[in-house]
Amino acid sequence: MSTTPATTDTTAAGGHLVDVEHLRKSFGDHEVLRDISFEIRSGSATCIIGPSGSGKTTILRSLNALEIPDSGVVRIGDLTVDFAGITPGRGGRLPRAQREQLAAYRAQSGMVFQSHNLFPHKTVLENVTEGPVIVQGENAAEAAGRARDLLDQVGLSAHVDKYPHQLSGGQQQRVGIARALALRPKLVLFDEPTSALDPELVGDVLGVMKDLAAQGWTMAIVTHELRFAQQVADQVLFIDGGVIVEQGDPRQVIGDPQHERTRTFLRRVMEPI
């Protein structure tokens, strides 16, 4: 059974799977995202770096509408959403057509969270098959077969019948990765996937992510693992104060940054203890 990346025939000229244009988001009087625009090529890895509170996670959550931006246009594959037109009606509820549009938009991506978010009462296998069966209506036997393939891919084939509390944090995070891939997304989103792990477990999760990048999965990764970003990313975005300060090849953004704010950030996070 295939565990290869989902593909689309509707990428833009130049091979862009994702186009983000003029994304803005405020929480109260605090403007978190200020006119964010970037592209992600199909089959590439984009790493988003920057200080805490800079807007990195809000960008990621906007890409699958866990946060609804105030304005901006995002295209993933053949589906485009103009968030300026997403407006709640009476009682704060979105109209049916907009709910359906956002549901289709969310289906383009799979999310790997910081803290696993596994169902504690379900086995590893059940956690991975939940989305395909319940949300996507896939045949249970076929979903289980694909789930076993994915769990083998992330090194957990011996743990399919265990429950989350029987796994290490790194193993739980790898289940989270398999669960995201099981939805066959066009885009896989990682929100600081190693930040909650003990240092000795980080390498296993990063190893799986390196394998996914090599296989051609399209990924957007919020991370503080700058060495990993240098090794894996095709593109790095440095975010500060809700704007993209610098973006480009990791050899340039991390290895030879052009902006003083980027240089200051990198000196602080990469200097030896």
Both 257 and 137 in one domain: the answer is no
pTM of the model: 0.91
Both 92 and 211 in one domain: the answer is yes
Domain limit, last residue, from 126, 160, 185: 185
Structure tokens at 246: 């610098």
Both 174 and 194 in one domain: the answer is no
What is the percentage of the chain residues whose pLDDT exceeds 70? Answer: 94
Give how far Cα 83 sits from Cα of 95, 102, 105, 141, 221, Å: 14, 10, 11, 38, 22
Q: Which residue range forms the structural domain that includes residue 144?
A: 117-185
pLDDT of residue 9: 46
Both 8 and 73 in one domain: the answer is yes
- pLDDT(185) > 50: yes
164 contact partners, CB below 8 Å, separation of at least 6? 116, 118, 119, 120, 124, 127, 172, 175
pLDDT in tens, 122-152: 999 999 999 999 988 899 999 999 999 999 9
Q: Check which CATH number belongs to the domain holding 99 and give it.
A: 3.40.50.300
Nearest to 16 by CA among 82, 104, 75, 102: 75
Domain limit, last residue, from 167, 185, 203: 185
Reported confidence tier of residue 3, pLDDT bands at 50, 70, 90: low
Q: Which amino acid is at 70?
A: D
User: What is the pLDDT averaged over residues 19-41?
Assistant: 96
